């Protein structure tokens, strides 16, 4: 628990320091507009691309195929949009990495590993209706 709390403190301080440095270099108003713009883009990505990905998972299930790849793609797309919607440049950078197809392949094995671990413990179940 202490490690998580310490991680949040370190993240918040790093994000704040980065905001100050960027604000000094490009100006406060430009920094705020950039944060707002990335938040709007993140919300757009979550709404449109996220829903397209969910539809892709449904289509995969309707064909009777395992939704593994589509599910991971949906998770990464929604996560990238969510990180873009959060204010801050570190979260924006990670969100962009999750949205880019060439760098998304880097994160796919991590998500597969996490899903397998949750399934083995019975904490992650896919229900088809």
Chain Cα centroid distance, residue 1: 23
Q: In this predicted structure, what is the pLDDT of residue 128?
A: 54
Q: Look at 95 and 55; give whichever has higher pLDDT.
A: 95
SS3 of residue 120 by DSSP: helix
Question: Which pTM value belongs to this model?
Answer: 0.80
- Residue located via tokens 């094995």: 109
For residues 98-118, give the mean pLDDT.
86
pLDDT of residue 126: 61
Mean pLDDT of 114-128: 73
Domain spans in the chain, listed from the N-terminal domain onward = 33-120
Q: What is the pLDDT of residue 46?
A: 87
Q: Which residue has the higher pLDDT, 56 or 5?
A: 5
| Confidence (pLDDT) at 68 | 75
For 1, 68, 76, 124, the CA distances from 6, given in Å and listed in that order, are 9, 34, 26, 28
Phi, psi of 111 (to 5 degrees): -70, -40
CA atoms within 13 A on the CB side of 106: 9
For 46-70, how does the pLDDT look when each residue is reduced to its tens digit (9 = 90+)?
888 878 887 888 888 888 877 777 7
Higher pLDDT residue, 9 or 104? 9
pLDDT, average across residues 102-120: 85
């Amino acid at each position: 628990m202490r490690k998580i709390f310490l991680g949040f403190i370190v993240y918040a301080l790093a994000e704040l320091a980065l905001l100050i440095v960027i604000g000094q270099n490009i100006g406060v108003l430009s920094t705020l507009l950039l944060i707002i713009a990335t938040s709007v883009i993140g919300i757009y990505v979550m709404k449109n691309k996220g829903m397209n990905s969910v539809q892709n998972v449904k289509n995969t299930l309707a064909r009777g195929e395992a939704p593994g790849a589509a599910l991971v793609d949906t998770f990464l797309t929604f996560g990238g949009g969510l990180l873009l919607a959060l204010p801050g440049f570190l979260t924006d950078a990670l969100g962009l990495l999750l949205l880019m197809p060439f760098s998304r392949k880097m994160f796919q094995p991590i998500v597969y590993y996490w899903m397998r671990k949750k399934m083995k413990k019975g904490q992650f179940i896919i229900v088809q209706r």
